[in-house]
Structure 1
Amino acid sequence: MSHNATSTTSEPHIDPDIARVQRRVLAALVSAQILSGAGLAAGITVGALLAQDMLGSTSLAGLPSALFTAGSALAAIAVGRLSQARGRRPGLAAGYLIGAIGSLGVIAAAVLDNPILLFGALFVYGAGTATNLQARYAGADLATASHRGRAVSTVLVATTLGGVVGPNLAAPTGTLARTVGIPYLTGPFLLAALAYALAALVLATWLRPDPLLLARELGATDSASTTAEPAPVDNSAKGIAVGGFVMALTQLIMVAIMTMTPVHMLAHGHGTAAAGAVIAVHVGAMYLPSPLTGWLVDRYGRLPVAATSGITLLAAGVLAALAPGDSITLLAVALALLGLGWNLGLVAGTAIITDTVPLSTRAKTQGAVDVSIAIAGATGGMGSGLIVAATSYPTLALAGGLLALAVVPAAALTARRHP
Structure 2
Amino acid sequence: MSENGLEFLQKQTVRTLALGQILGGFGLGSTLSIGALLAADLSGSVAWSGAAATFSTLGTATWAIPLSRLAFARGRRVALALGAALAISGAALVITAASVRFFPLLLVALFLLGAGSAASLQARFAATDIPTDRKVGKDLSLVVWATTIGAVTGPNLFGPGEVVGNFLGLPELTGPFVFTIAAQMLATSVFWFGLRPDPLLVAKQIASDKLQAKPKVSLASAFATLKQYPVAAYAIVSIALSHMVMVSVMSMTPVHVTSHGGSLVVVGFVISLHILGMYAFAPLFGILSDKIGPVKTIVIAQLIFVSALLIAGFGAETQNLVTLGLFLLGLGWSAATVSGSALLATSVPVDQKTNVQGLSDSMMNLSGASGGAIAGTLVALYSFTGLSLMALVPVVVIVTISLLVRNYRAKQTRTASIENLPVPE
| TM-score band w.r.t. shorter chain | 0.7 to 0.9
Contact 2:307 2:328 in 1 (8 A): yes
Q: Which consecutive residues of structure 2, in runs of 5 or more, have no partner in the other structure? A: 211-224, 411-425
2:288 to 293, 296, 304: 296
Matching residue of 2:6: 18
Matching residue of 1:75: 63
Q: How does 1:4-403 map to 2 (within 5 A)?
A: 15-52=3-40, 54-55=42-43, 60-144=48-132, 147-177=135-165, 180-182=168-170, 184-219=172-207, 236-324=228-316, 327=319, 329-388=320-379, 392-403=383-394
Comparing 37-46 with 263-272, greater Cα deviation is found at: 263-272
2:408 to 383, 400, 417: 417
Distance in 1 of aligned mates of 2:92 and 2:381: 33
Shift in CA distance, 178/396, structure 1 to aligned 2, threshold 3 Å: farther
Distance in 2 of aligned mates of 1:72 and 1:287: 19
User: What's the Cα RMSD here?
Assistant: 2.8
TM-score (structure 1 length as normaliser): 0.85
Deviation digits for residues 112-161 of structure 1 (CA, Å, limit 9, x no counterpart):
44332222221111111111111011101114476111111111111111
Comparing 188-197 with 178-187, greater Cα deviation is found at: 178-187
One-letter identity of the residue aligned with 1:256: S
One-letter identity of the residue aligned with 2:120: N
Shift in CA distance, 363/315, structure 1 to aligned 2, threshold 3 Å: same
Q: Which consecutive residues of structure 1, in runs of 5 or more, have no partner in the other structure? A: 1-12, 223-232
Shift in CA distance, 181/52, structure 1 to aligned 2, threshold 3 Å: same
Deviation digits for residues 44-72 of structure 1 (CA, Å, limit 9, x no counterpart):
43344444555566665443222211111
Say which structure, 1 or 2, has more relative contact order (CA 8 Å, 6+ apart): 1
Find the residue that maps to 1:140 and give its secondary structure: coil
Distance in 2 of aligned mates of 1:193 and 1:398: 40
Distance in 2 of aligned mates of 1:148 and 1:163: 23
The Cα of 1:174 is off from its aligned counterpart by 4.0
Matching residue of 1:226: none
The Cα of 1:264 is off from its aligned counterpart by 3.6
The Cα of 1:19 is off from its aligned counterpart by 0.7
One-letter identity of the residue aligned with 1:243: A
The Cα of 1:178 is off from its aligned counterpart by 5.1
The Cα of 1:332 is off from its aligned counterpart by 3.2
Matching residue of 1:228: none
The Cα of 1:276 is off from its aligned counterpart by 3.2
The Cα of 1:401 is off from its aligned counterpart by 3.8
Deviation digits for residues 295-334 of structure 1 (CA, Å, limit 9, x no counterpart):
111110111111122222232233333445672x444322
Matching residue of 1:9: none
Distance in 2 of aligned mates of 1:27 and 1:106: 31
Structure with higher Rg: it is 2
Comparing 399-408 with 237-246, greater Cα deviation is found at: 399-408
Contact 2:3 2:132 in 1 (8 A): no
Contact 1:268 1:326 in 2 (8 A): no
Comparing 197-206 with 386-395, greater Cα deviation is found at: 386-395
TM-score (structure 2 length as normaliser): 0.84
The Cα of 1:352 is off from its aligned counterpart by 1.6
One-letter identity of the residue aligned with 2:402: A
